[in-house]
Amino acid sequence: MSTVEITSEDVSRFVGLREVDLVIVTPPDGFELALRGQFDDYGEFLTILARDIEYVELVSRFTVGGLRLVANFSEVVGWSGASKWRRRVTTCSGLTLVVRDADAESWDAASAEDLYVVVASTIKFIPGPGWELPPL
């Protein structure tokens, strides 16, 4: 696996340009969670890795509609659809990855069932062999 990292902004732009499915896979040593970005069981666009996880709410496979990385979990609970996590504000405080399922057309239209979250001290985005971000 590459040691080069890509930014959450690049990943967000990438999933906005093409269909990407996130699938839970076996993490490499030193990490507790790995999500592979692929399409229809083909390719490996990217891998999202997490370590020192405080909280995770995911399904094993889904198509990404959007992705946001925020500095603290408390920033998320005011979002539309994210109120289901309000009670966790006192127990979670780490870096937070929020992923919107493609079934929701926008962040504002996302229901609680359309949002997935990973709260961890470390979240990394690693490009895969199929990673190619078109220029702006």
Asked if the structure places residue 86 within a domain, the reply is yes
Q: Are 22 and 48 in contact (CB under 8 A)?
A: yes
Asked if the structure places residue 64 within a domain, the reply is yes
Domain count, the chain: 1
Asked if the structure places residue 31 within a domain, the reply is yes
Asked if the structure places residue 133 within a domain, the reply is no
pLDDT digits 0-9 by tens, 70-111: 998 888 877 777 878 877 777 888 899 999 999 998 988 888
Contacts 24+ apart (CB under 8 A), 39-43: 43/128, 43/129, 43/130
Please state, in angstroms and as integers, the Cα–Cα distance from residue 108 to each residue in 24, 44, 62, 105, 112, following that order. 26, 29, 19, 8, 11
What is the predicted pLDDT for the residue at 2?
66
Q: Residue 116's Cα: distance from chain center in Å?
A: 8
Q: Are 132 and 108 in contact (CB under 8 A)?
A: no
Asked if the structure places residue 3 within a domain, the reply is no
Range of the domain at 55: 8-127
Asked if the structure places residue 2 within a domain, the reply is no
